[in-house]
Amino acid sequence: MKEESDIIRRDTLFKLLRSILSKEEMDDSDVSELTEYILKIFGFDDFVVDNMLTPVDRDIFYYLESKGIFKMEEEEVTLYKGKPWRIHYWVFRRDLFKKSSKIKEVKEDEDLKDMYEKIFKDMENKD
């Protein structure tokens, strides 16, 4: 069973996509649609089998792979008659979500620091 922290949430994916895709490439409504689209395809999994995708889906996934959001992995299995069979998967890059959360933590720490500095400056100005 997945841990609460392992689940990719819509708002987290939206923020990640927004930070990677420039405003010139996509506006917020397009990023929101892309977020929904990705979540519908992946569901609660971290990967999707390439055979399940349509050619249009695959084009979008290649674009997202070029942006570093997904990576493709393959597995080779041997069939009963000895013939090799390759299975291709599209996988979320979990490291991006971890980096994104670390950046958020650092930003929150910086925001707190700025807030405290402002409070102390206001207190000094009142004296």
Q: Domain spans of the chain?
A: 7-92, 94-127
pLDDT attached to residue 96: 77
pLDDT attached to residue 97: 67
pLDDT attached to residue 21: 84
Can you say whether the dihedral through the CA atoms of 75, 21, 14, 107 is positive or negative? Answer: positive
pTM of the predicted protein model: 0.67
pLDDT attached to residue 103: 45
pLDDT attached to residue 127: 57
Cα–Cα distances (Å) from 93 to 20, 70, 112, in that order, read: 13, 5, 30
pLDDT attached to residue 113: 63
pLDDT attached to residue 57: 94
Contact 84, 77 (CB under 8 A): yes
Is 21 strand, coil or helix? coil
Nearest to 46 by CA among 90, 100, 1: 90
Q: Give the chain's residues under pLDDT 70.
A: 1-6, 97-117, 119-120, 123, 126-127
pLDDT attached to residue 43: 82
pLDDT attached to residue 30: 92
Is 4 strand, coil or helix? helix
